[in-house]
Chains A and B, each alone.
Chain A
Amino acid sequence: MSRVLMRGNEAIAEAAIRAGLKCYFSYPITPQGELVEYMARELPKRGGVFLQAESEVAAINMVYGAAAAGVRTMTSSSSPGNSLKQEGISYLAGARLPAVIVNVMRGGPGLGNIAPAQGDYFQATKGGGHGDYRLIVLAPSTVPEAAQLVMLAFDLSDRYRVPAMILTDGMLGQMMEPVELPPPVDEATIPEKPWALTGAKGRPPNVVRSFELEPRKLKEMNLVLQETYREIEENEVRWEEVETEDAEILLVAHGTVGRIVKTVVRQARKEGIKAGLLRPISLWPFPYGPLRRLAERVPTVLTVELSAGQMWEDVRLAVEGRAKTPFFGELGGVVPTPREILSEVKKHVPA
């Protein structure tokens, strides 16, 4: 195992290659440019296909084609580009194709800016395209964790035949940290894909589709998706807790904000405030259960987010009135300092 200094975007790319990535398609956009460049440089050398698509619409449909062929495939973008991919993501979900989609979020709506934001939470976790579907959504808070979660995303996506998303932001994409990269996966361990389009040789033809005109049959297809989602909710909820045992105020934050809030918790503790953190790692499936259990005994659950309160809705669904649920958010690519968050915390604890 090698320990190297890497940017988040590069670590994501390298981890994907080590996960057995064969085809990568994308369209350039800031702040994930380094990811595309890394792929252009490295993937062809290591036996994969790099192709710069004419648009994000094309990129996600190329991913759809490569996924149908049965190879590990990925695309990456930032918010505006990810919006263009929603049609293709819905088709991937409907056709039960595994693929990994990276969204390095930036300020929105519209063209917004290129500063870090978390305003695509709804789009990622609630199904940004049409139809009843879910993505497995993983939110790293450090560069090493990003590398780990990329490998996990490929595994989960293959296992459940559900597209997986790495939801992060420009801060993590640009940040440099030492990473211990996991060794490349043994490709023999990647599950067989008997449904893949390899040519109808010695078997009946395989068809990859989301289309079904007959309502009862489409309902059946939907029920298979729903069963899979229940299974994922059962097995794949991931989260981190920091100092929650005796917490009197629980902060909930994901991704890079989760990392900032860790600092806040430490400072609060120094000042005698019993703060704790729950950091959802899987945004879908969301850690409703763990959060609910904590809300049984913590009187205040403060959500901190780089949005107007998107994850906050899930926090309130989890807490269901068991605790107070204040919110502190920033918008437009503004990142709050630990001090600002700490003074927010102080508003909610008895002096």
Chain B
Amino acid sequence: MSQLSTQIPEGYVKVFSRPRSLSDAKYTYCPGCHHGIIGRLIAEAIDELGIQERAVGVAPVGCAVFLFRFYNVDFVQAAHGRACAVATGLKRASPNLIVFTYQGDGDLAAIGTAETVHAANRGENFTVIFVNNQIYGMTGGEMAPTTLPGQRTVTCPEGRDVKLTGHPLKVSEMLAQLDGPVYITRQAVYDARHIQMAKKAILKAFRNQAEGKGFSLVEIVADCPTNFQMSPVEANRWVVEKALQYFPLGDLKVKED
């Protein structure tokens, strides 16, 4: 439960610091990657809701595979795609825990589609943070179900041909059709305003769980500078100019009681 502590000199006021729920471990993400921002937002939300001692994270397989290192909360490592099933088991066994999964688009929307859809449809009372970076980051930039038409990846070197490999999978739109979920929203973190909006969404998704409302999913349209072979600035711009065309931001489902 260590914390980075820097001495604050006399007369200075600390206005910004590391969230308590975030550990000292260094991030393993590439420069410019949105995973880091999203990870911090989750820690801030956990702190603000005072749920650190009840929170259990489910780490995915993907670039966030080391997620368990980054938080001062209990964690379980799930098999690739199985986070929603693991979270189901955890939450059903211990309903007092605040359980969240954190999953990439390969994890959640390809290999784990079935587990995700059915957890959502059952209205499982946990929180899903879904990072849609339109690519498989960890394994070296292969095509994801969310890869944009024409987008080049190492497994569609000529660009994604929708005739051969289909269109970007709109998971949030799909899930929003179901009766089970209470909150499905799509957010982004490419600028300060959107970071604040994403934070609000994450807070809401955790609060829903704490209030026993049911399944909440926050999709975040993110970048992957390394595998897009772009600078962080260019990758950020890609999100705004390209990705959001297919994945428009906003709430897709908000079930008020």
Contacts and interface: CB of A to CB of B under 8 A. Distances in A.
Chains A and B bind each other: yes
Interface of A: 22-23, 25, 49, 51, 53-55, 57-59, 61-71, 73, 87-88, 91, 95, 197-202, 204-211
B118 A23 contact: no
B75 A208 contact: yes
Given A54-B115, A88-B82, A199-B54, A62 B89 contact: yes
Q: Counting chain B CB atoms within 10 Å of each CB, which of A22, A95, A211 scores highest? A: A211
B54 A65 contact: no
Interface residues of B, number: 35
A144 B218 CA distance: 50
Contact of B76 (A58, A88, A208): A208
B75 A65 contact: no
B76 A207 contact: yes
A206 B93 contact: no
8 closest cross-chain pairs (CB), A and B: A65-B89, A61-B85, A209-B77, A62-B89, A69-B93, A201-B53, A66-B89, A65-B86
22 contacts: A23-B89, A51-B88, A54-B115, A61-B78, A62-B88, A64-B82, A64-B85, A65-B87, A65-B90, A65-B91, A66-B93, A68-B86, A71-B94, A95-B77, A198-B97, A199-B97, A201-B53, A207-B75, A208-B75, A208-B76, A209-B59, A209-B76
Contacts of A58: 82, 85, 88, 114-115, 118
Interface string B21-59: 000000000000000000000000000000011111011
B interface, over-half SS: mixed
Given A73-B93, A204-B1, A199 B55 contact: yes
A207 B93 contact: no
Contacts of A88: 79, 82
Given A58-B118, A209-B76, A210-B77, A73 B97 contact: no
Given A61-B115, A199-B54, A205 B74 contact: yes
B73 interface: yes
Contact of B94 (A87, A198, A201): A198
A197 B98 CA distance: 11
B114 A73 contact: no
Q: Counting chain A CB atoms within 10 Å of each CB, which of B53, B65, B90, B115 scores highest? A: B90
A290 B133 CA distance: 58
B46 to A, nearest CB: 11
A58 B94 CA distance: 18
B202 to A, nearest CB: 19
B102 interface: no
Given A54-B115, A198-B94, A199-B56, A65 B77 contact: no
